């Protein structure tokens, strides 16, 4: 393992992040052995994350207010995911944050003609690239929260892990095998310690 590489490169992706970028957004705040990590901790980091997820051109800069809106959307999504998992109504401000992001760059329907023929595509307003990125993230989260995968949305059960994932089967409780192994090792250690004279 390259110890000089940024810590986020050491994080294993969790199930569902490949299909829902909003899930990856929520997982940009996590804990590792040396403490909490926030991949969006400043405007440059937020811009890099958006560029890496093809939500923003690498020529576009983010200011502090825009990166703050991205972090606010992340926290709102975390609240909405928690509400969905608990089958409870969310806090109104979290719902308002998602709806504000959806409305920030409303999509315009377009007819697109590809090799497969014509189909409808909803293209977000690109006049404000940062708002368009937030709108795409909010739309992705809306699809996740209202779609067939919503029932699989789960927070990792490992102590100290706050990442969310899509559970592939009912017995899965951890976002990665790394978290599962850590929990099993802690249980084994506690059992050995309890059995010691």
Average pLDDT, the chain: 87
Sequence-ordered list of residues with C-beta below 8 angstroms from that of 11, at least 6 positions apart, any chain? 27, 30, 32
Banded pLDDT at 3 (limits 50, 70, 90): very low
pLDDT digits (tens, 9 = 90+) for 136-160: 999 999 999 999 999 999 999 888 8
pLDDT digits (tens, 9 = 90+) for 97-141: 999 999 988 878 889 999 999 999 887 777 889 999 999 999 999
Distance of alpha carbon 108 from alpha carbon 126, whole angstroms: 10
Q: With respect to residue 95, please indicate whether it lies within any of the assigned structural domains.
A: yes
Question: CB atoms < 10 A from the CB of 190, how many?
Answer: 10
What is the count of structural domains for the chain? Answer: 1
Q: With respect to residue 178, please indicate whether it lies within any of the assigned structural domains.
A: yes
Average pLDDT over residues 68-97: 97
Q: What is the CATH number of the domain that holds 29?
A: 1.10.3300.10
Give the residue among 185, 186, 184, 166 at the shortest CA–CA distance from 175. 166
Q: With respect to residue 97, please indicate whether it lies within any of the assigned structural domains.
A: yes
Sequence-ordered list of residues with C-beta below 8 angstroms from that of 59, at least 6 positions apart, any chain? none
Q: Which is more confident, 39 or 169?
A: 39
Q: What is the pLDDT of residue 96?
A: 97
Q: With respect to residue 88, please indicate whether it lies within any of the assigned structural domains.
A: yes
Containing domain of residue 57, as a range?
7-195
Q: What is the pLDDT of residue 172?
A: 78
Q: What is the CA radius of gyration of the chain?
A: 19
DSSP states along the chain: --TTS-GGGGSPPPTTTTT-HHHHHHTTEEEETTEEEETTSSHHHHHHHHHHTTSS-TT----HHHHHHHHHHHHHHHHHHHHHHHT-PPPHHHHHHHHHHHHHS-EEEEEEEETTEEEEEEEE--SSHHHHHHHHHHHHHHHHHHSGGGGGEEE--STT---EEE-SSTT---SSHHHHHHHHHHHHHHHHHHH--
């Amino acid at each position: 393992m390259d110890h000089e590489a940024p810590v986020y490169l050491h994080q294993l992706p969790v199930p569902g992040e490949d299909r829902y970028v909003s899930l990856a957004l929520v997982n940009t705040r996590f804990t590792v052995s040396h403490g909490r990590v926030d991949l969006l901790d400043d405007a440059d980091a937020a811009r890099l994350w958006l560029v890496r997820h093809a939500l923003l051109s690498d020529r576009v800069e983010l200011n502090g207010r825009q990166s703050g809106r991205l972090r606010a959307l992340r926290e709102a999504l975390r609240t909405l995911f928690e509400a969905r998992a608990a089958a409870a109504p969310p806090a109104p401000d979290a719902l308002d944050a998602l709806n504000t992001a959806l409305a920030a760059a409303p999509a315009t329907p377009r007819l697109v003609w590809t090799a497969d023929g014509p189909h409808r595509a909803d293209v977000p307003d690109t006049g404000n690239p940062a708002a368009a990125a937030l709108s795409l993230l909010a739309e992705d989260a809306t699809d996740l929260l209202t779609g067939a995968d919503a029932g699989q949305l789960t927070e990792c059960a490992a102590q100290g892990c706050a990442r969310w994932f899509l559970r592939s089967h009912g017995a899965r409780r951890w976002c990665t095998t790394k978290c599962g192994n850590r929990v099993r090792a802690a249980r084994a250690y506690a059992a050995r310690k309890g059995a010691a004279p």
